[in-house]
Structure 1
Amino acid sequence: MGSKDGSGAASSGGGGGFFSSIAAGVRSLGTAVHKSVNGLVGYEGLEVINPDGGTEDAEAEALRGRWKQEDRDSYWKMMHKYIGADVTSLVTLPVIIFEPMTMLQKMAELMEYCELLDKADECEDPYMRMAYASAWAVSVYFAYQRTWKPFNPILGETYEMVNHQGISFIAEQVSHHPPMGAAHCENAHFTYDITSKLKTKFLGNSLEVYPLGRTRVSLKKSGVKLELVPPLTKVNNLIFGRTWVDSPGEMVLTNLTTGDKVVLLFQPCGWFGAGRYEVDGYVYSAAEEPKIMITGKWNQSMSCQPCDQEGDPLPGTELKEIWRVAPTPPNDKYQYTHFAHKINSFDTAPKKLLASDSRLRPDRYALEKGDMSKSGSEKSRLEEQQRAEKRTREAKGEQFTPRWFNRTDEIAPTPWGELEVYEYNGKYTEHRAAIDSSSVADDDTDVTSIEFNPWQYSSSSSQ
């Protein structure tokens, strides 16, 4: 598996070592799994992959999952024409595949284990600092294995979060075509900035998601800046079979200040689940020498241990666990963690919540309450309002301008294409400080009564 940023020499583990032989074996296994895919008669281009089985049970697996037979057939007839296409902006998707959360809220889930960034900031060892930071980057994948689709944010929609680890988080949908969001988060130890843009490829019964984003973290005590390049994600068995998620490939976390780097291989799922969830790699010095080996499973825990130049554990050292997934609610309908429920809760909302906040979306809220019919009709209504606002904007010869982020002139390269970069403009910090220092901070208005309103033109909110 080639490196995404020219770090192939580093990702080989310095020419050998404990993880190199494992990675080589799993790479060949990952190639074999795609040969196990079977097609069903009458469904051209269909692939069904059972992560717990082999080739002989693909047809039986296809009949499992969340869909009724008639729903599967109907959805397949609607979607098969999009095979090979980027379906990021499709608005005709049924709410049966959605979870009651938006992409802006999904961006905030990376903050669940932000105490790992606090530890990285406090750590004096530069290589352990990278180990903690990479464990933080891996930790979100436990939540990302959910098989439900978040709602696409409305242009101008926002999400705010406070009351967690002392952080202040703001995200905004800054572009509709292509769909893009930007977010800024800060506490006493770090700042986090992301421009998020997804590119997809629909493959019939699966979807590949390419993260054309840029994530940067600044640690305040050490002053280092980190940049994250995650692997792609593949959602398998979208229509036929039990939906499951895999993220095979390399994750690269680079210290832009020192040149140190972490390269982690997310092992592809092989036959009968071999290698699924496993993550292995190293912290490298700027000279590409392995310093710390990292191993674990993204759905359980991550550990690390100092290593020699061959990538083998140093004598007299022990494997140290640096992250473990928190307990989760049993039998949760959407496989939410406790933190995911906090994200939807108004308990993590600040005073004077912006009317554009995702929590206030009527389609999201209806789905959360189990009313799929209302969720579907509200989703359609919001999408039509968005189209109406676009027509108004075009008639006025105006362009949408984000409120909390500015588009820069920078075009950043990513492994999957170029990215227009947005930067935080600081206005939300001023906005929140003004509220916190005034009497309106004591306003006891029922926040759930606020009408969702991300619209630039007041006429759009009444359509």
Structure 2
Amino acid sequence: TKTLHLRTDSRSDRAAWLQALACTRCILPLQSLSGDFSFLSPKDLSISTERLKSRLREEGIDESLIKECEEIVDSEFSEVQEQVKLLHEERKKLFDALKQLEMANLEAETSGIHDNGYRLPNPKYSSSRRGKYSECSTSASSDGKLEFENISEEDEPSFHDTKDYFSEPDAGSGHMHIKRRTRLPDPAEKERGVSLWSMIKDNVGKDLTRVCLPVYFNEPISSLQKCFEDLEYSYLLDQAYEYGKSGNSLLRALNVAAFAVSGYASTEGRHCKPFNPLLGETYEADFPEKGLRFFSEKVSHHPTVIACHCEGKGWKFWGDTNLRSKFWGRSIQIEPVGVLSLEFDDGEIFQWSKVTTTIYNILLGKLYCDHHGIMQIRGNRQYSCTLKFKEQSILDRNPHQVSGFVQDVTGEKAATVFGKWDDTLYYVAGDVINKASASLLWKATKPPPNVTRYNLTSFAITLNELTPGLEEKLPPTDSRLRPDQRHLENGEYEKANEEKQRLERRQRMSRKIQESGWRPRWFELRGESDGYKYTGGYWEARDERSWDDCPNIFGEFTEEIADCA
């Protein structure tokens, strides 16, 4: 007797299922694999060429040519016969294996072993959707008739979903699967153009982080969220961790190099400026589907410094960045200051700094950005990497080029890397570029089908989203709760401008707050060389909804908030 478990939502559904099973059993009776199965043997295949020869003779074809045609047909048929022979042997092996499995099942049943004996003893993950009509049992008697067991609600066997036992809920999220959006909301208003020259003609040579621009020049994400966007291809770090575990240190270093380059892919076509966070503003990203948690905070206003910390599958990533930007009439140059660090669970560490970014044709011509400079990825063990981002020239027909090499502690080049920072990255062993033998390290994802003027990637579109149940978990300092940014995302441009001006009045008081002894809530400065380090406690406070010491920085600014800060 074999027992099947069927889950339904109601008694009527269960009765309908049982009736359908009974009808199906009558139409298609079960047959044991131990029965005889007839296979088409290759020896049973034959072919005759008599009709072909007769037809050719009617056409007056020479006998020698007819014989040659017959030999061709026989040769082709022999090949077909060989293929049928192979298929016949494979099918016979398959059914032999199925017979062995059936015999094993019969032995298990006769020895009293049932499915219940193989259940994993993990009641913590039992299904919460179990209902009293979720199980029924059917049995096949020895005479082949289908019988229904009248099982009481108390005696019904427990139903267990397979996913309850073979997948565990993520420690950082209450959702096994989070459905994220694929497009931004449709704009509520029609956007009005703004003269760029009228806004920046008086700011030539100044630090643009201190220039108040209308919301038209912003994209609906903050610089804190922009930091997390660099981790879009975090799977490269997962791969690097696994390569290191298996003893392949070279491929680990190559994947780290690919990750360092991949962070620039999303900048292509992005001509708008992210929102400058308020002092103490934070952003969290809990992505169980990527196996990582990210957190960032604006830890200083003068100079503007953003610190971040991320934990993934076998690695930790952290750093702080200060962007120094200058406007030079026709271009804007952005120089990142700070060190990014990556540490694997086995103790191997890589550190690097970002290269210079320049945005060209601010006033006339097609606006575009370019990344250029030397990136040194320093490892504390066997390998380090040097990458050169080639500066684009006016006549350059092949822009965005990146090239470099991985070398060991002796200075010997172990691999060469080349590609484009917005497209793909390849590597070859040794110090000679041979594109024919190159292997792909990384490839950028395709742009989303719903393109807006912001040119956000599919990943960036999800960064400012408030997924169901998320808002009540967030601290009042999270970027998703920033009103001007939310209004811009919704296409409410007038409200966005009003809120941006209000918050920038508060921003101008940040220096006074910082000089009065303000300290970051989640990071601390460990020295000029070590930078800011995450002190811990954020995710624990999130679980407890303990945000009493986090002021509402997006609300109306008062002296009370200043004293609290």
Structure 1 residues 372 and 460: alpha-carbon distance in aligned structure 2, compared to 1, 3 A threshold = farther
Whole-angstrom distance in 1 between the partners of 2:358 and 2:321: 17
Q: Which of 502, 526, 540 is matched with 1:408 structurally?
A: 526
Is 1:428 matched with 2:538? Answer: yes
Is 1:174 matched with 2:279? Answer: no
**Which amino acid is 2:541 matched to?**
H
**Which amino acid is 1:113 matched to?**
Y
1:197 alignment counterpart:
322
Q: Give the Å deviation of 1:312.
A: 4.7
Is 1:129 matched with 2:249? Answer: no
Q: Which of 98, 117, 120 is matched with 2:240 structurally?
A: 120
| Structure 1 moving runs of 4+ over 6 Å | 454-457
Q: Cα deviation per residue 1:245-268 (whole Å; 9 max; x = unaligned)?
A: 00111122111x215211111122
2:446 alignment counterpart:
327
Whole-angstrom distance in 2 between the partners of 1:357 and 1:454: 16
Whole-angstrom distance in 2 between the partners of 1:169 and 1:231: 23
1:261 alignment counterpart:
384
2:174 alignment counterpart:
none
Cα contact 1:156–1:455 (8 A) shared by 2: no
Cα contact 1:389–1:457 (8 A) shared by 2: no
2:348 alignment counterpart:
224
**Which amino acid is 2:315 matched to?**
F
Q: Cα deviation per residue 1:120-156 (whole Å; 9 max; x = unaligned)?
A: 0110311111110111111111112311101110000
Q: Give the Å deviation of 1:398.
A: 2.9
Whole-angstrom distance in 2 between the partners of 1:389 and 1:202: 24
Whole-angstrom distance in 2 between the partners of 1:238 and 1:198: 19
Cα contact 1:292–1:305 (8 A) shared by 2: yes
Give the alignment of 1:335-374 within 5 angstroms: 335-347=455-467, 352-374=473-495
Q: Which of 275, 278, 287 is matched with 1:163 structurally?
A: 287
Whole-angstrom distance in 2 between the partners of 1:313 and 1:106: 35
Cα contact 2:281–2:553 (8 A) shared by 1: no
Q: TM-score, normalised by structure 1?
A: 0.72
Q: Cα deviation per residue 1:402-442 (whole Å; 9 max; x = unaligned)?
A: 01001122336xxxxxxxx111111224324xx1xx6x69x
Q: Give the Å deviation of 1:457.
A: 6.6
Structure 1 residues 460 and 375: alpha-carbon distance in aligned structure 2, compared to 1, 3 A threshold = farther
Q: TM-score, normalised by structure 2?
A: 0.60
- SS class of match (2:461): helix
Q: Which of 501, 507, 510 is matched with 1:386 structurally?
A: 507
Give the alignment of 1:236-247 within 5 angstroms: 236-247=360-371
Structure 1 residues 381 and 238: alpha-carbon distance in aligned structure 2, compared to 1, 3 A threshold = same
- SS class of match (2:259): helix
Is 1:235 matched with 2:353? Answer: no
Q: Give the Å deviation of 1:67.
A: 10
Q: Cα deviation per residue 1:97-134 (whole Å; 9 max; x = unaligned)?
A: 11111110000111110010000011031111111011
Whole-angstrom distance in 2 between the partners of 1:454 and 1:218: 41
Whole-angstrom distance in 1 between the partners of 2:197 and 2:311: 47
Q: Give the Å deviation of 1:313.
A: 4.7
Cα contact 2:279–2:510 (8 A) shared by 1: no
Percent of residue pairs identical: 31
2:225 alignment counterpart:
105
Is 1:251 matched with 2:375? Answer: yes
Cα contact 1:160–1:350 (8 A) shared by 2: no
1:292 alignment counterpart:
415
**Which amino acid is 2:488 matched to?**
L
Whole-angstrom distance in 2 between the partners of 1:147 and 1:423: 31
- SS class of match (1:400): coil
Whole-angstrom distance in 2 between the partners of 1:350 and 1:286: 49
Whole-angstrom distance in 2 between the partners of 1:275 and 1:458: 56
Cα contact 1:252–1:263 (8 A) shared by 2: yes
- SS class of match (1:272): coil
Whole-angstrom distance in 2 between the partners of 1:384 and 1:76: 19
- SS class of match (2:334): strand
Is 1:305 matched with 2:424? Answer: no
Unaligned runs of 5+ in 2: 1-190, 547-551
Cα contact 1:89–1:177 (8 A) shared by 2: no
Q: Cα deviation per residue 1:215-241 (whole Å; 9 max; x = unaligned)?
A: 001011x32011012211001122333
1:53 alignment counterpart:
none
Structure 1 residues 457 and 136: alpha-carbon distance in aligned structure 2, compared to 1, 3 A threshold = farther
Structure 1 residues 259 and 410: alpha-carbon distance in aligned structure 2, compared to 1, 3 A threshold = farther
- SS class of match (2:287): coil
Cα contact 1:179–1:197 (8 A) shared by 2: yes
1:280 alignment counterpart:
403
Cα contact 1:234–1:246 (8 A) shared by 2: yes
Structure 1 residues 156 and 238: alpha-carbon distance in aligned structure 2, compared to 1, 3 A threshold = same
Tell which has more relative contact order, 1 or 2 (C-alpha 8 A, sep 6+): 1
Aligned residues: 362
Structure 1 residues 386 and 67: alpha-carbon distance in aligned structure 2, compared to 1, 3 A threshold = closer
